[in-house]
Amino acid sequence: MTSNILIYIEINDSKIETVSKEIISKIRSSFNDIKLCGAVIADENTISNVQEELSKLPLDCVYIINDNIFDEFQVCLYSKALYDLIKEVKPDIFLMGATPDGRELAPRTASKLEIGLTADCTGLDIDNDGKLLATRPTYGGKLMATITSKTKPGFATIRPHSFKMMNVPNGNPMIEYKSYDISGIACLTEILNCFQKTVSEDWSCAEIIISGGLGLKTKENFQRIYKLADLINAKPAASRAAVELGWAPASIQVGQTGKSVSPKLYIAFGISGAMQHLVGISSSDKIIAVNTDRNAPIMKACDIAIVADAQNVLESLISNLS
């Protein structure tokens, strides 16, 4: 059965958010019997900056809700725009990225529409009836739950880097401009000023990630993760247990409560591979694990398992590469 899918295409600083493109490429490359459209909300200047990119997305159509009132993200305005659009186009499935804006926008939109929302998903599928099956960790990450909704559209937010960018040919979507009815909106917040926050480099897109866990035993030993990463131009990362002990900052934690990553190569030194960690690395192309316990969960989840002392392997790699 054909499923009508609508994806909210988030734009920040005149750029389409990577997660929006990841969702589009995942859906386009995985499912055939679908109509796939995008929804954009932005001011005129932003639209003209992304117009060319929008016109090549592998979509069947793009709905543009375009008004200078949208020059800054305001959840009351954006959720009303999405509410109106969804009421009109009646998709079977509606998806958006679990970005900071998406996490604010999705529940407001769901509540206006009186529909369910599966938040922060890491996997998705469509059943034979065209309904969304959204997968996310539950019970503190001990289980992966696949959730389907009794309400329509099936609505989910998707964690950035949960899906690999697939090589999907460009499309030529029909662009449709939608008018925006501002009447009846009472925004309780007024934006007085916006401050640019300098964010640290987005290492979650790194090609090689060198990650350490409790098997490294001490904070001093953990420093070798940084050293090796530096030598091969990789990014350092850590398990939550290593972060909790103060061996690494929370900003480089990988996993359910950290970042999801999709590097070409993820090397885990002394990490057991708890479900909450694995959920953040499942989109990696290749995983190498170094662990003294051949039965550790990560040894089954990886492509190359090295049963060895993590510090010895780190040390010999560092001395050979220095």
Residues that bind ligand FAD (CB under 6 A): 140-141, 213-215, 239-242, 253-258, 270-272, 274, 276-277, 280, 290-293, 296, 309-310
Look up tokens 């007024």; give the residue. 190
Name which of 99 and 221 has its Cβ closer to ligand FAD: 221
Residue 322, Cβ density class (10 Å: 0-12 exposed, 13-18 middle, ≥19 buried): exposed
Name 153's Cβ contacts closer than 8 Å, sequence gap at least 6.
6, 86, 90, 91, 92, 93, 94, 115, 132
Least distance from ligand FAD to the Cβ atom of residue 46, Å? 33
Least distance from ligand FAD to the Cβ atom of residue 306, Å? 9
Least distance from ligand FAD to the Cβ atom of residue 37, Å? 33
Name which of 75 and 245 has its Cβ closer to ligand FAD: 245
**Joined tokens for residue 117:** 């929302």
Burial code (b: 16+ CB inside 10 Å, e: under 16) for 207-230 equals ebbbbbbbbbeeeebbbbbebbbe
Name which of 76 and 145 has its Cβ closer to ligand FAD: 145
Name 18's Cβ contacts closer than 8 Å, sequence gap at least 6.
160, 165, 205
Name which of 82 and 228 has its Cβ closer to ligand FAD: 228
Least distance from ligand FAD to the Cβ atom of residue 252, Å? 11
Task: Return the DSSP state at 259.
Answer: B
Name which of 38 and 141 has its Cβ closer to ligand FAD: 141
Least distance from ligand FAD to the Cβ atom of residue 229, Å? 17
Nearest to 65 by CA among 42, 88, 97, 95: 42
